[in-house]
Amino acid sequence: MVEKTLAIIKPDAIKKKLTGKIIQRIEDEGFKISGLKMLHLNKEEAKGFYIIHKDKQFYESLTDFMSSGEIVTMVLEREDAISHWRQVMGATDPALAEPGTLRQMFGSSIERNAAHGSDSPTTAEWEINYFYKKE
Ligand code: CMP
């Protein structure tokens, strides 16, 4: 089934000038990019996006990091987009990610892990709406 997912290139990857490589990989994996924006979130916007993690001990640090520099958000479309993008990214912790995945190649810690992807159809809809709300 053709699905949509929300992908983010995080500030660590942007600072390392990996934006082009990650977008190339997305296209090579057969995704259609149907939305793309570079943004610099403020702290409140980062907190809003990660509200689901508000009770986690890493919430403050994660939202500081996600508001520390530019990010690129994208809407990706493909068969099984949600699970396929999660496979391409690899495990949340780069130390546990499979060789060849984006987080294994480009991430430096569980927080600075280069990329984000929605984890379910409900989350994908909510996350896409967060950045691409229809006027
Ligand atoms: P992401 O896929 O963007 O979703 C939530 C983020 O929280 C995750 O990637 C990590 O960058 C970050 N994070 C920081 N610490 C942890 C942790 N202990 N477990 C899971 N996610 C964490």
Closest Cα to atom 11 of ligand 1 = 111
Q: Could you tell me how far CA 135 lies from the centroid of its own chain?
A: 23
**Mean pLDDT of successive 10-residue stretches along the chain, which has 135 residues:** 97 98 98 98 98 98 98 98 98 98 98 98 98 82
Atom of ligand 1 nearest to the CA of 117: 2
Q: Which residues are annotated as catalytic? A: 116
| Ligand 1 pocket at CB < 6 A | 53, 58, 62, 92, 110-111, 113, 116
| Collapsed DSSP state (helix, strand, coil) of residue 15 | helix
92 CA to middle of ligand 1, Å? 6
Residue 54 DSSP one-character state: T
According to the model, what pLDDT value does residue 135 have? 58
Cα–Cα distance, 7 to 74 (Å, whole number): 5
Beta-bridge partners for 35: 75
pTM for this prediction:
0.97
8 Å CB contact between 80 and 92? no
13 CB neighbour count, 10 Å cutoff: 24
Per the listing, tokens 């430096």 go with: 108
Torsion angle of the four alpha carbons 25, 109, 35, 71, in this order, in degrees rounded to the nearest 10: -120
Quick check: helix, strand or coil at residue 41?
coil
Q: Are 121 and 43 in contact (CB under 8 A)?
A: no
116: containing domain: 2-131
Model pLDDT, residue 110 = 98
Confidence at residue 1, expressed as pLDDT on a 0 to 100 scale:
86
Position in ligand 1 atom list of the atom nearest CA 8: 3
Distance from C-alpha of 61 to C-alpha of 55, rounded to nearest angstrom:
12
User: Which CATH number fits the domain that encloses residue 118?
Assistant: 3.30.70.141
Number of domains comprising the chain? 1
